[in-house]
């Protein structure tokens, strides 16, 4: 078990989409901040698993998952997902919890406005490899993760009850950033979670790390 810092910031608008954010992402040399920016600003990730499907057992397999790293007033950097054991990804992670997720600014209008092809390195991509953990429903983090997901993806509230959706999170072991020419940059886990996202969104800069979530990584 370890303790994960997260950052609290306030704003004076309502709704996730109304959050005031900078037009320009962080500079390429601020890799940890870029990673936090992309994870916070995007809505979905590609998630790679080790397939359990009979015809491609053991192959890499990729699907798409909606996610959130926190509520509009609490960006944690932790990717929360709404999972079910009924889909192919859910079946894969029951056997092998190792995953890699990728988020990219190609999801936003930033790259299009800059006329960056999605494959252009300047169209930033974050690759996070780690393990997917199912959060205990009795944990305060479960409520936080679910509220974060429901705020960013309201339709999740109406997803079929008989699918037994649950809140899960990716606990990172390696984080890579591609946001400029010159190849991938590695960001330490510590630097990633210590990146000051309050400065990034240019709001109340006097806020710093003010709370912790108890994370069970077992």
pLDDT in tens, 61-78: 999 999 999 987 778 999
Give yes or no for residue 213 having a pLDDT over 50. no
- Name the CATH superfamily, with its identifier, for domain 2-215: Electron Transport, Fmn-binding Protein; Chain A (2.30.110.10)
Q: Across the strands, what pairs with 133?
A: 169
DSSP for 66-83 reads: EEEEEETTEEEEEEEEEE
pLDDT in tens, 21-60: 445 789 999 999 999 999 999 999 999 999 999 999 999 9
Query: What residue segments make up the domains of the chain, in order of their start?
Result: 2-215
User: Can you tell me the distance from the alpha carbon of 81 to that of 134, in angstroms, rounded to the nearest whole number?
Assistant: 9
pTM of the model: 0.81
Q: What is the H or E stretch that residue 93 is in?
A: helix 88-95
Q: Any idea what DSSP says for residue 190?
A: H
**Pairing relation of β-strands 74-83 and 60-71?**
antiparallel
Q: How crowded is the C-beta side of 179, counted as CA atoms within 13 Å? A: 28
């Amino acid at each position: 078990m370890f303790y994960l810092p997260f950052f609290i910031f306030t704003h004076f608008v309502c709704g996730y989409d109304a959050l005031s954010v900078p037009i320009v992402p962080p500079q390429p040399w601020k890799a940890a901040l870029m990673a936090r920016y992309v994870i916070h600003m995007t809505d979905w990730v590609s998630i790679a698993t080790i397939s359990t499907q009979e015809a491609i057992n053991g192959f890499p397999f990729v699907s798409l998952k909606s996610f959130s790293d926190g509520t509009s007033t609490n960006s944690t950097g932790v990717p929360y997902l709404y999972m079910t054991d009924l889909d192919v990804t859910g079946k894969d992670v029951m056997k092998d919890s190792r995953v890699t997720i990728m988020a990219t600014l190609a999801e936003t209008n930033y790259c299009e406005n800059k006329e960056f092809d999605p494959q252009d390195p300047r169209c930033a991509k974050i690759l996070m490899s780690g393990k997917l953990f199912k959060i205990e429903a009795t944990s305060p983090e479960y409520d936080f993760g679910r509220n974060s997901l429901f705020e960013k993806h309201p339709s999740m509230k109406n997803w079929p009850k008989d699918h037994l959706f649950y809140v899960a999170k990716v606990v990172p072991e390696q984080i890579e950033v591609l946001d400029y020419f010159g190849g991938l940059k590695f960001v330490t886990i510590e630097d990633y979670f210590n990146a000051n996202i309050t400065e990034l969104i240019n709001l109340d800069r006097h806020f710093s790390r003010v709370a912790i979530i108890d994370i069970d990584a077992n």
